Amino acid sequence: MPGKERANRRVTLARIAALLAVILISVYIFSIRDQAAKLAIYGYPGIFLISFLAYATVILPAPGIAIIFTMGTIFNPLAVGLVAGAGAALGELVGYLAGFSGQAVVERADMYDRLTRWMQRNGALTVFFLALVPNPFFDVAGIIAGMLKMPLFKFLFWCWAGETLKMTMFAYLGSSALNLFQ
């Protein structure tokens, strides 16, 4: 039993560390949100970082889609979508990590229960569609995916697919808007 207790203690400490990391990352990114747009001068790596930072917050708002929309007017919209989708998917790992920590960051509400049922029935499609559609519930979906121990690669793949399609759409919308005014 002492070995099992030690292992349980390590898991508990890892979960606490994960939750603290989520809180610190979210607060830090929220505090620098106004400077994030300046990263665009670095081209595609800057777009990746902007997207990562915008999606690495849990519950707190950060600019993201508006900047990607604008970057679609400056850079190749398809490349912007691909780079921003990758950054957003990796940023969403923060929510997944919050769920993995085992600490319920979300309330026991109707939407939480509904998302949990959807995630249990078809987690991949739930992650994909919630990442595809701009909505305030994706952080909760990432937390639930982590709590349900959805395989990390599966979560990342479907999150990346949905985020990439969404970001590409916004980049093309930005590019099209620029063409309307020329």
Q: Using the predicted structure, report yes or no on whether residue 79 has a pLDDT greater than 90.
A: yes
What count of other Cβ atoms lies within 10 Å of the Cβ of residue 150? 24
Q: Using the predicted structure, report yes or no on whether residue 143 has a pLDDT greater than 60.
A: yes
Is the pTM higher than 0.85? The answer reads no
Cα 70 from chain centroid (whole Å): 20
pLDDT tens-digit series, residues 26-72: 555 555 555 555 666 788 998 898 888 888 776 655 667 777 877 88
Q: For residues 92 and 135, which has the higher predicted lDDT (pLDDT)? A: 92
Domain that holds residue 10: 2-180
Number of domains in the chain: 1
**DSSP characters over 99-111:** HHTT---S-S-HH
pLDDT tens-digit series, residues 123-134: 899 999 989 988
